[in-house]
Amino acid sequence: MEFQYKPTRLLVLYASQTGNALDAAERVGREAERGGCPSVEVFSMDAFDASCLPGERLVIFVVSTTGQGDNPDAMKIFWKFLLQRNLGHQWLENLHYAVFGLGDSGYQKFNFAAKKLDRRLLDLGAKPIIGRGLGDDQHPSGYEGALDPWLLSLWNTISKFDSTILPRIPDIFDLSRRTLDHAKYQITYHSSHESQTVVPSFEDLNDTEKIVEKARTMSPLGQHGYGDNKPHCFLRMVTNECLTKDAPDRDVRHLEFEFASTGMEYQVGDVLEILPSQNPKAVDAFIKRCKLDPDCYIIVYSKSTNKESVESHLKPSANSIKLRTFVDLTMDVASASPRRYFFEVMSFYATADHEKERLHYFASPEGRDDLYQYNQKERRTVLEVLEDFSSVQMPFEWLVQLVPPLKTRAFSISSSPLAHPNQVHITVSVVSWTTPYKRKRHGLCSTWLAGLHPPDSREIYIPAWIHHGSLPPPPPSLPLVLIGPGTGCAPFRAFVEQRVIQNQTGPTAPIIFFFGCRSRETDFLYESFWLSQAQNSGVLSAETGGGFFVAFSRDQPRKIYVQHKMKEESNRIWSLLSSGAAVYLAGSSMKMPADVTSVLEEIVAEQSGASEESAARWLKMQERAGKFHIESWS
């Protein structure tokens, strides 16, 4: 193929898992257009033919990191192509590029996907126009805390690199020159008597499945191809048990679900994603505030859809969906905070001067920190923001584009399918916190699940998806060192249950498990289960070569954590590691994974007589060999 250079084109390629990188990439595109760039194109990485990269002169990459340093699903084809060995060190010698990553420094492999991409582009001969930017969810302003200065540097550098790409760079930063962009989505409306859609009944499983799939497919994330729009299964809750006792600040639930239909399979180590239900009062309040007709039927489609598809949408059809149902299933109106662009668009619709002025300030770089204090730090919701700016009346097209999408919530599965056929269990910490202004906040999904009470809730069908997690199912012959403080014990309940069943039909390798909680009396999660397996030849008993070690951090003056218990059992841990055991670690993403990894390095060094550097390298080798797995969450 002969490549044709496009000297004035700016290409933006993004890889997003939940939509944040898409949001950042679209901002890059908007600002380039304001700067007069003659041609700006924004593509998902896997929608772009990677073999055409040598024909580009300047590409901006915006990449999220997901899981434990993994590439987003939307980057996997693109990345696989870049890793081909036949691509030489000069393959991209004519390409200039910049990389911005979105990540969370609470995770050990912070922005790993962006760093890997940057290194590979360099290896292929591409030239960075500026250093990579690394957005951090832990920053007081989120990823925009790094994106703002990075973009400022990017535009100034590009203007010096080639002024034809950005002939009007001052327009990017001059708020007074900004005009309202066009909404990316169009909506056709049909009255209820026009629509051929049957009024849905959420008590009917088939109806529910069709409605959820239709709404999710029509949503912006669905139209951009994120995730499966069709749920893998529907669940009915059969057990809701509180595992904590006399702990007013801690509520952990053991939840059991039945599959509403047969044939659903999963493995230990898998992850269950649940689409939460929103508070009906909040949905109704949002619709009323926005002066929408909840009973009309709508079709939502991207303006980039081809003409024939658009024309087919202009007629009432079975593809339409009730507006209220669409909002309820796709738009997070009462738990997620809007992004900064939401405030910028609002400023064009504000009719009160003082509100317009404040919104302009919030949308400016100078107002970023104050916006963070008002918005993200308080976790102000879309509904609250709209109520605070009462003169704003935004068209529904803009709301569909800018209201944060209603996302699924992921939970480690805490049951073995061998022990509980046709059921799946999860361990859920009910999230609540107090904002700086002393407002009580509650996690959307965990609070909703905790409020479902079987048998009354048995006829509520819960949309769910099952995916492989970061903890692959171990074979019965593999010795295991499990470390799971707090709700990190959830996947290991499944591992132990599975090993119990496997032990009935043949020999199994030993398991030692390190668990940690605050107090024996308040949050010793699954106490009777662990203790039953730690005695009478259970799979965690000393008789079978196993062990169960628990750290109660607050039951004595000096705090004791799982790391301390691990140090006490250094000989046993090293004995298992020497015999080929795998280490599995699950729990909070903050300090715990790094602290536990550090202790493992100390144990390996002390027991083997190697240096700490050698021990660290050995653990890295174990990870590459599939013998060290981490699953963490914030």
Show binding-site residues for NADP(+). Answer: 487, 553-554, 559-563, 595
Q: How far apart are CA 191 and CA 316, in angstroms?
A: 9
What are the CA-CA distances from residue 72 to residues 79, 102, 117, 174, 551 (Å)? 10, 11, 12, 34, 36
Q: Where are the alpha helices (DSSP H) in 174-306?
A: 205-218, 220-223, 280-289
- Give binding residues as ranges: 16-21, 64-67, 137, 379, 409-412, 443-446, 487, 553-554, 559-563, 595, 633
Report angle CA 329, 335, 337 to the nearest 5 degrees. Answer: 110
Give the angle subtended at the CA of 582 by the CAs of 580 and 586, to the nearest 5°. Answer: 165
Mention every residue, 6+ apart, whose C-beta is less than 8 A from residue 577.
481, 583, 604, 622
Angle between helices 353-363 and 340-349 (to 10 degrees): 150
Instruction: Report the C-alpha gap between 575 and 589 in whole angstroms.
Output: 28
Strand partners, 39: 9
Q: Which amino acid is at 482?
A: L
Helix (H/G/I), strand (E/B), else coil: 77:
helix
- Largest alpha-carbon pair distance within the chain? 79
Alpha carbon separation from 77 to 223, 227, 385, 498 (Å, rounded):
19, 15, 39, 34
How far apart CA 386 and CA 408 sit, in angstroms, is 24
Please, are residues 633 and 67 in contact by the beta-carbon 8 Å criterion? no
Known binding positions for FMN: 16-21, 64-67, 137
| Closest residue by Cα to residue 417 from 586, 257, 238, 230 | 257
Exposure on the CB side of residue 258, measured as CA atoms within 13 A:
12
φ, ψ for residue 350, nearest 5 deg: -75, 130
